[in-house]
Amino acid sequence: MKHLALFLLFPCLVFGQSSLDDIDALFTAKKFKEAETYLVNYVSEHPEDLRAIELLGDAYGHQTLWNDAIPQYKKLVKADGSNADYHYKYGGALGMKALSVSKLKALGIIGDVKKAFLKAAELDKTHIDARWALVELYMQLPGIVGGSKRKSLKYANELEELSMVDGYLAKGYIYEYDDEPELAEEYYKKAIQVGGSLTCYGKLTSLYEKENKPNDAISNIEAANEKHQRNALHYQIGKVCADYNVQLNKGEKCLLRFIDNHSVKDGVPVEWAYYRLAQIYKHKKDKEKSLDYINQALSIRADFKQALKEKEKILQL
């Protein structure tokens, strides 16, 4: 019955090799299991089709099935060792597996991860993702197994040659990771000047929050909103105000604006805004309004765990 259902679901996929183009639509719709099911059958019938093998690896990867993704990417590397993307994806899948196993088992994988990323960077002198992977890998590895800030900076410099904003973000990451917040701030600010994307602003905001500088974080989010005009940034301001008990009136105003203009594209469910408003009124010692907002959050999602815990705290006021 399952095979019949698949035939009915994908009539255009079953007849001919051009059907691989339709996998993109499944990926866009995040129907990764359906894509996997079709691709497993397709690859069994077309074992030399490298694009199909890559797509199958990607389908597994989207489901965090790294043990299944790794063999597919390994096939690609063996079939075409000159393709930088194949090495990058193989290294990435191995790296994700290393994060999911014990430290002892991870040590046995890291060498292959590094080798794959280095090969990708060697094959393609413009491969930005491979260089980003090496920046992070060399910073996160202990020195005893090959970690090196110097090597991480080497690839950050290469990134800067390819993309100035990526280079600045990479250096900001390195210095933040190495607990040098002043230098991290300097490079994140340079990234904002050069690129000015929401990602650039977000990195600096996260640094300020990490360094317990909520007012600087709020100012940075406001600057981002002036440039990008995103409703979700109103929520971010309210979140910082609520988390750090600062500028509470501004936080309330921003959260109410976020709620008034909320849509799915904001990426933050509206119940979180009510949750933050409840936090703000808890800080203000206004139990009645705080309960009102937390109940509004729970009316939208009854199993909202954070809100349930917050309600217990509010009731104790």
Ramachandran area for residue 230 (φ above 0: left; ψ -120 to 50: alpha; else beta) = beta
Does any domain span residue 24? no
* Predicted local distance difference test score (pLDDT) of residue 17: 46
Does any domain span residue 133? no
- Measure the CA–CA gap between 253 and 277, rounded to whole angstroms: 10
Does any domain span residue 100? no
Does any domain span residue 213? no
* Predicted local distance difference test score (pLDDT) of residue 102: 87
Q: Mean per-residue pLDDT for 285-289? A: 97
- What total number of domains does the chain contain? 1
Task: Give the amino acid at 267.
Answer: G
- Nearest Cα to Cα of residue 299 among 260, 277, 271: 271
Q: How many of the other CB atoms lie within 10 Å of CB of 76?
A: 20
Does any domain span residue 30? no
* Predicted local distance difference test score (pLDDT) of residue 21: 75
* Predicted local distance difference test score (pLDDT) of residue 145: 66
- Measure the CA–CA gap between 181 and 203, rounded to whole angstroms: 12
- Measure the CA–CA gap between 1 and 210, rounded to whole angstroms: 53
**What does pLDDT average to over the chain?**
92
pLDDT in tens, 130-141: 999 999 999 988
- Is residue 59 within 8 A of residue 73, CB to CB? The reply is no
* Predicted local distance difference test score (pLDDT) of residue 147: 80
Each as own residue / partner, the long-range contacts of residues 99-105 (CB below 8 Å, 24 or more positions apart, any chain) are 100/64, 100/66
Does any domain span residue 37? no
Each as own residue / partner, the long-range contacts of residues 14-20 (CB below 8 Å, 24 or more positions apart, any chain) are 17/46, 17/49, 20/49, 20/51, 20/52, 20/55
* Predicted local distance difference test score (pLDDT) of residue 11: 37
Q: How many of the other CB atoms lie within 10 Å of CB of 256?
A: 14
pLDDT in tens, 82-114: 999 999 999 999 999 998 888 888 888 999 999
pLDDT in tens, 170-202: 999 999 999 999 999 999 999 999 999 999 999
* pLDDT(143) > 60: yes
Q: Which CATH number characterizes residue 249's domain? A: 1.25.40.10
pLDDT in tens, 7-57: 334 333 333 444 677 888 888 899 999 999 999 999 999 999 999 999 999
Residues 6+ apart with CB under 8 A from 40: 56
Does any domain span residue 295? yes
* Predicted local distance difference test score (pLDDT) of residue 58: 95
CA distances from 12 to 16, 111, 115, 186 (A): 8, 43, 40, 53
Residues 6+ apart with CB under 8 A from 96: 61, 64, 66
Does any domain span residue 12? no
Residue 265 domain boundaries: 230-317
Q: Mean per-residue pLDDT for 72-83? A: 97
Task: Tokens for 27, please give them.
Answer: 């990926």
